[in-house]
Amino acid sequence: MSFIAAPHIISPLGNSVHENFERALVGQSALRLHSDHPFAPVDIPFGIITDHERSEGWTKLESLCLQSCQQSLAQLKDTSGKWLLIFCTTKGDIDRLASGLSEEVKPQYLVQKVAKELPIDIDTEVVSNACISGLLGVIMAHDYVSTGVYDHVLVLGGDLFSDFTYKGFESFMALSAQACKPFDANRDGLSLGEAVVSVVVSDKKEIFSQVDCQVLGGASANDANHISGPSRTGEGLYRSIQKTWKQTGLSAEEVDAVSAHGTATRYNDDMESIAFHRAGLAAKPINSMKGYFGHTLGAAGLLELVMSMESMRAGIFLSSLGCEAPGTTEEINVVTENTPMEIHTLLKTTSGFGGCNAAAIIQKIQ
Amino acid sequence: MSQQVCHIKWNADGLIVDGQQADLLPHEGGLKELLAAYYKSLGLNYPKFHKMDNLSKLGVLGVAMLSAQYDLSAYADDAIAMHFQNASASLDTDWVHQQNINEGKAASPANFVYTLPNIVLGEIAIRNKWYGENLFVVADSFDLERWMKTNQVLFDQNKAEAVLGGWVEVLEEKFELELYFVVKQ
């Protein structure tokens, strides 16, 4: 068991968890048209952070990562102990590649640069496991502190909208022309967004000035099926959920709500519906937050976990913005209106290219 | 506790399998042709291999050599965790995608799908039908002790009976594979 708190979110919706949650509550979306962006097409909505401070000699992603880490650490009463900083990202500062191969394009360069500026001694690690990276970072953090390898882990997730990823997803024909519609019967693709998120995982409750949630555990699993196509049986996601029951000693009955991946591509959302159905979760309130932020890739799992923590605190399960009429292979209980409810135990899931899947459970502290 | 039961080291200097050193197979051309020579000599019949990028090919071939050396079939299909690391993530393939962009050419979806380092884990999982834990870490160099420490965490948390992985690095024709199979004791 570990505690998870001191969160921070930088997204187009705001520069704190509070701002992001309040704007999501009133149905605001980060996804909009950008007429003055250097490479984003003007007729497709994206979630791009346009209002941000950048330090001299620092890229946008480096600056936002440092700011988020500083905001998380500032929420702690005590920073003594052995620390690890896990940077969860799919592509890091990949747009630097336009001018050629360099050390600076590597994510370990970014995280080491950020770590040097923090007021604590901290080891660094980069988890780059496609779109499960952010949640996998939290699971690893939980496992590291539970086994005493580290006292505290600062988990940082960050990916930006880049020409590199935009052109790739465009070639995949995976992008929707409108703001994405997760789990909707008429969904037709994902929307790209960007976010930088951080949180602290520790087995020492006393370091936090405010702590509401604990991580009970999680697991990852591969589909062993296809590197880019979701499994038709939802095998890897189903197995990652089964392994999460084993890790936590819980079962489907004890879960109050599910924060799904829900990218709004036809095949991904169908795959998730099949896995949730198999796992006995079809009747549980399920949401996707991609309609608020777009797909923030390596940051997504962490972003949605932190937003879920705020949901649990507020007692409101967020609507799956963009979903008007749910329609997936298996019928699942997609929440399409903000729903006041007591969320004591929440399951978070993610899936990504390479056939990877991850699931984890967080619970409110009594 | 855990025990390393198999080790493969493979780079431009040669191939060492459990201490047995061999020269690289003769080949004409670069890394792609070298990997093709090993595919042939291992007698693999796996057409998907030819679609992979060099990073995935290197990983898949390494695991094929390892499983010829050590019987992995006794393990349940989700008992083996894959934990790989490297320094350059998928930059070798990223660079191909980036050059298409720089030159104003259309991006290739077949190439773009390999622009994530964990795809090699996916390819190994597909070929071997493994549903276990996945972890890809990017680091400056291979720190065996630290890699083992993370494996021990997976064992202590009852997430795996064995860990397959290590270092799998490809960038601009330079390659380095350090593959280990580690068993929980």
> Alpha helices of chain A — where are they, by DSSP H?
17-25, 60-73, 107-117, 133-146, 163-171, 235-248, 266-278, 290-293, 300-314
Contact A218/A359 with Cβ under 8 angstroms? yes
Q: For residue A290, name the pLDDT band (cuts at 50, 70, 90).
A: very high
Q: Which of A89, A105, A108, A171 to mutate to test the interface with B (most CBs of B within 10 A)?
A: A171
Q: Cβ contacts of residue A26 below 8 Å, gap of 6+?
A: none
Residues A98-131 pLDDT 10s: 999 999 999 999 999 999 999 999 999 999 999 9
pLDDT for B6 beyond 90: no
Stretch B53-66: mean pLDDT? 98
The percent of residues above 90 in pLDDT, for chain B, comes to 97
Architecture of domain A2-207: 3-Layer(aba) Sandwich (3.40)
Stretch B16-43: mean pLDDT? 96
**pLDDT attached to residue A122:** 98
Stretch B68-73: mean pLDDT? 94
Residues B103-116 pLDDT 10s: 999 999 999 999 99
Q: Cβ contacts of residue A199 below 8 Å, gap of 6+?
A: A4, A5, A6, A7, A8, A72, A138, A154, A155, A302, A305, A306
**pLDDT attached to residue B150:** 98
pLDDT for A53 beyond 90: no
Of B95, B121, B133, the CB nearest to A97: B95
**pLDDT attached to residue A154:** 98
Cα distances (angstroms) measured from residue A54 to each of A66, A67, A91, A92, B26: 10, 10, 20, 16, 52
**pLDDT attached to residue B5:** 86
Asked if A101 has any chain B CB less than 8 Å from its own CB, the reply is yes
- Yes or no, beta carbons of A108 and B138 under 8 Å apart: yes
Domains A2-207 and A213-364 share a fold: yes
Q: For residue A139, name the pLDDT band (cuts at 50, 70, 90).
A: very high
Per-chain mean pLDDT for chain B: 97
pLDDT for A51 beyond 90: no
- Yes or no, beta carbons of A168 and B118 under 8 Å apart: no
Which CATH superfamily includes the segment(s) A213-364?
A: Thiolase/Chalcone synthase (3.40.47.10)
Of A94, A108, A143, the CB nearest to B140: A108
Contacts of B118 in chain A (CB under 8 A): 128-130, 352-354, 356
Stretch A229-238: mean pLDDT? 95
**pLDDT attached to residue A340:** 98
Geometric angle at alpha carbon A299, from A260 and A152, rounded to 5°: 105
pLDDT for A348 beyond 90: yes
CB atoms within 10 A of CB A92: 30
Domain ranges of chain A: 2-207, 213-364
Asked if A219 has any chain B CB less than 8 Å from its own CB, the reply is yes
Q: Which ipTM was obtained for this model?
A: 0.98
Contacts of B98 in chain A (CB under 8 A): 97-98, 164
Angle in degrees, 0-180, between the axes of helices A60-73 and A107-117, rounded to the nearest 10: 40
Q: B2-184 has which fold?
A: Peroxisomal Thiolase; Chain A, domain 1 (3.40.47)
Query: DSSP code of A34?
Result: -
